Each structure stands twice: as C-alpha cells, then as structure tokens.
Structure 1
Amino acid sequence: MSRLDTFVAPEPSVPLIKAMTVVNRVLMLRGVLGFRDIPPFNRIAGLRGIANIRHIDFPEADRARLAAACGQGKATFITPNHPEFFTDWMIDKEIASHVCPLAAFWATNGVVNGLGKAAQKFWLANNLIAQIPGNSQAAREHSVSWALTGHGVLLHPEGSVGWHGDYVAPLMPGAAEMALEALKRGREAGRDPDAWIAPIVWKLAFTRDVEADLMRECAYVERSLKIEPTPRSIALPDRVYRIYETLLSRDEEKNGVQADRAAPFRSRQKRLIEAMHDRLCELLPEATPSGRGDTMRSARRFLRENSSADPELRKQVKSLSETIMRVQRVGDFAFTSKAVTQEGIAEHIKRIRNDYCKGTLRDTLNRFMPQPAGPRRAHIRVPEPLAMNDYRGTPTEAMAEIRRRMQAALDEINDGLHAGGFSKTFSNPFYRR
C-alpha cells in the first residue's frame, strides 16, 4: 500500500506540541502585535495572522465545562463544528491547549500522509490521526486507546468542510461508537471510565464591514472562472448568486439537462442532481437507484477498488460523483432565511473558490490556507457534554442529540450578535428566488 493509505500511529512530542501552540496562537491566529494593523505589514499573512482572528471569546464557564469532561479516568471524544478549512485545526488546537494539550486530532490522510515522509513525521509528532478513506479501523482503535489515557480525541463529526458557519450539518456516528467502545474496553480491563462526547461550536464574525473586500474577491472569482464581470450596480449578494447561477448553467449544459432560467435555483439544482444520480446508477449497476447516499458510496468504493477498470468508465464515474458533491454543497442552509450575513456571503465565495477555482498557485494556496476578507472574532461555546455511561440510545441517536445541542448553542451566539448590532445582513437572493 502507498504511504497515503497506510495508517501509522502518532508519536506525540510534548516539546513540539508546546512550541506549535505558541506558533499557532501568534502566526496562525492573532498575528504579531505592532505589525498586524500597520500597512504594508498587515498584508503579510503571517504577521497579520493567517486566519486573522483578533479576538477569542471563550467564556470561563464554557472552558470549565469542557475541562470537567476531560482528564484521567475519562475517555472523551471532542466534537467541534467544521465551518472552515485550515482555521478549524488552528482554533481546535487553541481550545485544546487550555484543557487537554495532548489531545489527538483526526485529519485527512492527504494532510498527514500525503505531503512526504518529513511532513508525515511532523504531523504524527503533533498527534494527528490519519483517516484512511474506506479503512478507518486502525484509526478508530488507536483513538479509543488514546482516549482511555485521559488525553482526549478530537474529530469533526460533520465530515468535510461545508462553509456554513450558522448551520450544523447531520453528524456521523463515529464519536459515539468510539465512546461506547472505550467504555466496553475499560470495563473489560477492570476499570469503569467515564465516556463523554464533548461538543464545541465556534462562530467567526468580522469585526468591521468587509463588503468592499468581498466585492474584490468576487471580481477575482469572475476572472478566474471566465464569467462576464458583474455591473457595479449589482448588490454583493446578487453578484454571488449570479456566479452560482452561471456555474449551475454550465453543469446543466455539460450533463445534458435543459436549463430553465425562470425556475428557482433550488428546483434546477434538484433536477440536475437527479439526472446525474440516474446516470451514475446506469454506470454502476450495483448502486441503489432509490438512495443517493448509497449510490455515492458505491461510486467511491468503485474508484477505490477498481483501479484497473476501463479508464473511460472511471473518468465518467469520478466526474459525475465529484459534480454531484459540488452542486449539492449549496444545501438547505442557503435557502431557509430571508437574510444573509456578510459572513454567510464570505462563506459562499470561499465555497466557490474551493470547488471551482483551480490551476494556479494562488488557488492552491487558497484551498489549503483560505484568507478571510477581514479581521474576525471567534466566539467559542461548549454545550453540555453527553455522558455515554448511562446512555441507552443508539450512536446515531446520541449524535442527533449532540447536533441539537450544538445548533442551539450556535443559534444563541448568533442571537447575541444580532441583538448587539454586530451582524451586517443583506437580503438573501437564494430565498427570494
């Protein structure tokens, strides 16, 4: 097997983890005092803080709630929301540094194993656990063992980044399954550990009006994707909608779906996804036509296990499955509210750049280290952890409860931002249309 698909257990280095905590806090998050606000130094990502997090709002009560669920005699699985790539681990590491500095972190195998031997050694020393697609058993077993040491394991139950900071997507059951396994192993070893699922939510809010900055980013996206420039009279949300509508039209044309420009975006999106799903089922006879999730899993399994299959068939399956995933990433969260915040607009733009803008060094760097439109404040909250010792529901039910608690905490943060006048909003074109 290749290094990419081979699990290697982390070997955490305490000195390195401590050093990287400082590097993360200064270079990745907050920036360098005395330089981060002074031109031209504030244009240099490392001096400004790559994630540009100027303030961290992490109340002591929430910090204490998380600390109480971690430590010796406790197998704790920490489950933060996952709204933004790169910033996710930087904020998660900052949180862990206060309550569980030797926590292990799940990460994609492309990061842990895919950047060369030296990089792999570095990430393993930082206690990152590589998730191997289709073969996560070794990572799960190591996670359970590490959790039983009392240091905690952090993983993102939403899966991949969705770029939707106000909405918690349905959660996968892995954290609950591992918590129950840790409980079982502990009892078999003559111990009775506390097994916890500890949810966290964090919300990023700009500290100033960034509409002009987002307009410039829209202009870059239009140039990059060869979309006719939008007239200056068009409002920012409508400009973003126009980009998405253009990209949807291109996908419709590519997949032989007649575009109905008068139809709502959501109707066109669903029709396109259904057509691509049907085509994928034709290419994969073992797929289940009635279940899109099953079909997508069949496609991933086919690509993973049939490297010697007909190249043209593999190309079609890969292209269709990637397009389906890309199109459906504009999910229910985009259509439910009459208003959209400037943070929500920024997330739409980042999602477009991540999914469509490729081929240049600038685009590659943006995919790995997306740069925000302006300085931000991170609001961190810890909902009540769920004790699995006496829990009688299924892992899926446990994660549904965790999701409910996470969404309630996130809604509370947003209510506070709106009430305090800290949230700039626009009319939501996805709702109107």
Structure 2
Amino acid sequence: MQLAKRVQTLTPSTTLAITAKAKALKDSGHNVIGLGAGEPDFNTPTYIVDEAKKAMYEGLTRYTPSSGILPLREAIARKLLKDQGIDYGADQVVVTTGAKHALYSLFQVLLNPGDEVIVPTPYWVSYPEQIKLAEGVPVFVTGEQENQYKLTKDQLEATITEKTRAVIINSPSNPTGMMYTEEELLALGEVCIKHNIIIVSDEIYEKLIYTDTPHVSIASLSEQLKKQTVIINGVSKSHAMTGWRIGYAVGRKTIIKAMTNLCSHSTSNPTTISQYAALAAYNHDEEEIHAMVESFNERLNYMYDLLIKLPGVTCIKPQGAFYLFPNVKQAMDMCGFKDVDEFSTALLEEEQVAVIPGTGFGAPENIRLSYVIKKEQLQEAIMRMSRFIERHAKI
C-alpha cells in the first residue's frame, strides 16, 4: 500500500527519536540522564486539578463549541489585555488541542500550494513539517550566533518573494532561549507591513523569562502589526500542563473563523475537562508560575556555569524558555565525530546522557540541553559529558 505523498516527505521528530532511545536504555537498566525533555518537571498546580475534578463531577463532559468554551476565550482575551495591553474580542480567539495544533491549523488555513513561509534557524522542529503538510514551502534564513540566532530586518527583506505568505517569530525561542527586543520586532514588523506578510508569533514560552527585560508581543506594538499578527500560545509550559493539550490562536476574525471551521471537522473541540482546567489557570494568580521560573533560573545559572567549562563548547546564555543550545563544533572536531548526530548518539550510548542534536533544529553544530531536572542530575550530566569529550579527544 502506498501512502500519501504529504506524509512520505515528513522528517521524523529528532526529539522523539532520541527520547525513545533513551527510554529503551533506561528500561534495560541503564542510569540515563535525559536532557531532552521539552516540558516542566513540576506537577500541574493543585488548584487547576481541583477545578478539573469539579468540572467532571458537575457533568461538564460534553461537546463544546469548536472554538472552545466562551469563558475560556474571554479569559484568554483578558490575559492578553492585562499582560500585553492588546484588546481582542472572544471571537478573535480559537482554543486548540495544544499550541502545536494551533500552528498546524493556522498553516492549513493560510497556505496554498507553493506559498512560502520564512523560518528563521534554529527553529522548532515541527515548523517546517507543518508547513509542508499544508503544501507550503519553508524558506530557511540562518540566525547567526553573533546576533543571538535572531532574524534581522535586512535578512527578512532579502528573503521575501512574491510567494511569501508568512514569517515565524518565536520569542523566547525553542531551542535557543533568545528573545527579540521591542526595537528588533518593530524593524521586522515594518518589513511585514510593507509586504503584507502574516506574522506567526509563537509565544508559548512568554512566562519563562530570566532577565529584567519583559516579553514583548509584536502584536502589541501598533494597530497595524496587531492586524498582521496571529499569536500562538497555551498553558503547557507556563502552567506545567503539557499533557492537558490546551493551546490557542488569536488574530483576525477571518483567520480565526477559518481555523474554527477546520477544527470542527478535525477535533470537534479541545477536551472539555482540559478547557475548564485552563480556565482555572487563567483565572488564578501567578504565584506558582513565579516559583517555577525562579527554580528554572537557578538551574540555568548552575548548569550554564558548568557547561561553558567543557572543552570545545561555547554557549550564549539564554534569556528564556528552559534550554541551553551550545555550539559543540570544536568538541566534535577534537573528538573525531563527523557530525552532531554521531556525537549525540555516542554520548548516549557511552555515558547515558541524552541530548537533542541540532540537526532537527536546522543547526548542525549545536545540541539542545533541557535543564528541567534536579541540579544533582545536571551536575552529573555535565561531568559525564566532560569525561566523554576528554576521553575521545585524549586531553
């Protein structure tokens, strides 16, 4: 049986492949330290779980509108007004089965065959695959390490063609943890307005920031940029709710209506109980979020200080998310590995440390390390990495 061409071109998730191999080693008795996780190691706050239980006991277990329950969409609109000063109506919000599904649905309603989407590298692994599934074309632009891996105005201007439909801005970034400044966003926005380019603003890590500079949504900078932007977000990272699968998209009514219609024929609606759980998350104060961010910041500082001492490893200190994205090109050369995939596989097999090779993010000289584990494990992981490099490089 021949499968559809659209799935034959898909690249398997690097993150999931490494995670699966690490799990197999762990299940066979190896002491594996996983630095590949893309989720907080905190439990979902109790007040959210309690509200989900309450919803179940009250019989709130039936279908909801495809766009999500009205109270949740109103709560999301209030959140955006409070956090970013952007005024949206509930009819400009669609709740989805995770932020990943919001992105998938958005590309499905935006793109016609051959339409181009500008994807700055390094990128989150699913962006190009979702674009291809919508019969679009991902156009990669390298974010240089010297510029904190961020897309510049000149790069954007030079890449736009008559087929360009959208550009993705992910701030804070997965995998780099870098954030765009207001000035950088205004410069990029000026180009997008000039060429009538849709801005896909992935803001899923907006609450996980470790600098005094606040997160800025490009949609907040002008009324015109608000019209050009579709914000993607959710509760997965901010409220430790990855498994609840609640995300959302906010933007023009025409786009949101189209996404809602598409969802009505795909998922019907996001899980009802999860919607009430997310409503509780947005109707509560952010004390638990602050505690989680403080813990991640402590771990970031601890791991970063250890990491930059490794031979042949350089790293820009991230400003948000929960990843470090070191360049290991020199270490690979010292150790005789032909590429980062071979380096990462050997590290897992020999020292039982699971990292994500940068090839899946469009960055073949880097690896992604998640620091959402205990400090003792972070220390042990870096010690094993040091031993691994020194052994192969014969330092």
TM-score (norm 2): 0.29
Larger of the two Rg values belongs to structure? 1
TM-score (norm 1): 0.27
